[in-house]
Amino acid sequence: MVATSATSSFFPLPSSPLYPTAKTNKVTTSTNFSGLSPTPNSARMKVKPNAQAPPKINGKRVGLPGSVKPDNETSSQHPAAPRTFINQLPDWSMLLAAITTVFLAAEKQWMMLDWKPRRSDVIMYPFGLGRIVQDGLVFRQNFSIRSYEIGADRSASIETVMNHLQETALNHVKTAGLLGDGFGSTPEMVKKNLIWVVTRMQVVVDKYPTWGDVVEVDTWVSKSGKNGMRRDWLVRDGNTGQILTRASSVWVMMNKLTRRLSKIPEEVRGEIEPYFVDSDPVLAEDSRMLTKLDDKTADYVRSGLTPRWSDLDVNQHVNNVKYIGWILESAPVGMMESQKLKSMTLEYRRECGRDSVLQSLTAVSGCDIGNLGTAGEVECQHLLRLQDGAEVVRGRTEWSSKTPTTTWDITP
């Protein structure tokens, strides 16, 4: 019974007509029943021609609606098509159209997927948050050099390079699952109102990327003394693998309420030590003393430098990269036009806030100030201080001649 019902949904079976099509014999005379008195002709029971017995459904008689014509009359006016196997098949057009639509949509999605096997030399996750590599201890992130990140010499600025370093450091903490509510602070650091502050930064730039280049930045952390952490960076060309920049830094903890340095609590140490890499610094430490400048020893002074609101980070102090820009504010323009910054050493001594007013001092050594445009190697001493004389950053930079670049004539 179930099989019959399922089959009939696709292949309709001929059903018994409610009205038989066989014609009955016509009755031409009236019939008188015995034992009944004759009645007038108007009262006699008449039998209609083509009369049919009421059909039965499930053994019960069913009345016929008077308005429905018998099948024999309908079939005589519109002859039914002969029943064949073909015209009893269901209409598959709608089902085939739906199946075709599904397959086309699936094929389009499949073609959009990158199903091809990746090669080891292909850059993965080109501009995402990066990923953990090398046994979960090194963080790697790629950056594309934008048009607003290059300077007049068509290469990336030192501030662009430093921003990439800072970004990878924060994303490293985030990807490792150690980011609390603070700016690079772990959950235990947040509980104890502790933040990281950089005390020393050393950077060596072998080559600056240009507009459109893709750089690959690796960073990792190591132990530094009893209460410090060292973070190193290695920047490569994303296409050739050539090393572009090496950087190393030392960080300590500070209480963000008292603004005083703090030891690393054991709870925090337990969070960060599993990520320490036992390796030498990517740069040998430059142990030369950084000179303290004053108004007499400085060759160039730039005063009245003030932070903007956009220069502050979430810890309400000036972003570390901004200090580099202020230091270079007092560097001679002639030197910056003809020389490129190849190395930098900074010592952060004090933080400054949004209401601070600063001075930038620079002293040039190793060449005559009047011949900076033709000098081969130039070394500069720097000092960034508050208006009251308190030191913020001491620094030293080394410069070398720029490689001549091709110029384009855009005159129509």
Please list, in sequence order, all residues whose beta carbon lies within 8 angstroms of the beta carbon of residue 32, skipping any fewer than 6 positions away.
Answer: 38, 44
Question: Are 385 and 361 in contact, with CB atoms under 8 Å apart?
Answer: yes
Indicate if 315 belongs to the active site.
yes
> DSSP 3-state assignment of 361?
strand
Q: Is 101 helix (H, G, I), strand (E, B) or coil?
A: helix
> Is the same domain home to 299 and 376?
yes
CA distances from 131 to 45, 107, 125, 375 (A): 101, 31, 8, 43
pTM reported for the whole predicted model: 0.66
- Asked whether the predicted pLDDT for residue 211 surpasses 90, the reply is yes
Q: Which residue bears the tokens 């990281």? A: 196
**Tens of pLDDT, residues 377-398:** 899 999 999 999 999 999 999 9
Q: Of the residues 171, 320, 352, 382, which is catalytic?
A: 352
How confident is the prediction for the chain on average, in pLDDT? 78
384 and 323 in contact (C-beta within 8 Å)?
yes
Q: Which residue has the tokens 């599993």?
A: 274
pLDDT band at residue 159, thresholds of 50, 70 and 90? very high
pLDDT digits (tens, 9 = 90+) for 325-357: 999 999 988 888 888 999 999 999 998 888 899
pLDDT tens profile 287-303? 899 999 999 999 999 99
Q: How confident is the model at residue 105 (pLDDT cuts 50, 70, 90)?
A: confident
Q: Name the catalytic one among 164, 172, 317, 382.
A: 317
Percent of residues, the chain, with pLDDT higher than 90: 46
pLDDT at 312: 85
Q: Is 367 a catalytic residue?
A: no
Q: For position 120, what pLDDT does the model report? A: 39
> Which domain-ending residue is among 285, 312, 345?
285
pLDDT band, residue 118 (cuts 50/70/90) = very low
Residue recorded with tokens 């060309």: 237
Catalytic residue flag (residue 380): no
| Residue 352 neighbours by CB under 8 Å, 6+ apart | 307, 317, 318, 358, 386, 392
- Domain span at 216: 126-285
Asked whether residue 236 falls in the same domain as residue 381, the answer is no
pLDDT confidence of residue 24 = 42
Residue 321 lies in a domain: yes
Q: How big is the chain, counted in residues?
A: 412
Q: Are 353 and 219 part of one and the same domain? A: no
Q: Read off the pLDDT band of 113 (50, 70, 90).
A: low
Range of lowest pLDDT (4-13, 121-130, 190-199, 243-252)? 4-13
Structural domain contains residue 33? no
Averaged pLDDT for residues 58-71: 51
On the question of pLDDT at 13 being above 50, the answer is no
Section 313-321 average pLDDT: 81
Digit-coded pLDDT (tens) for 216-272: 999 999 999 888 999 999 999 999 999 999 999 999 999 989 989 999 999 999 999
Q: Is the torsion defined by CA of 250, 254, 260, 264 positive or negative?
A: negative
Quick check: 30 pLDDT over 50? no
Number of domains, the chain: 2
pLDDT of residue 91: 66
Same domain, 153 and 280: yes
- Domain identity same for 245 and 292: no
For position 371, which CATH number holds? 3.10.129.10
Considering the domain architecture, whether residues 244 and 265 belong to the same structural domain is answered as yes
Amino acid 29: pLDDT: 42
State the average pLDDT over residues 135-158.
Answer: 92
β-sheet bridge partners, residue 194: 255
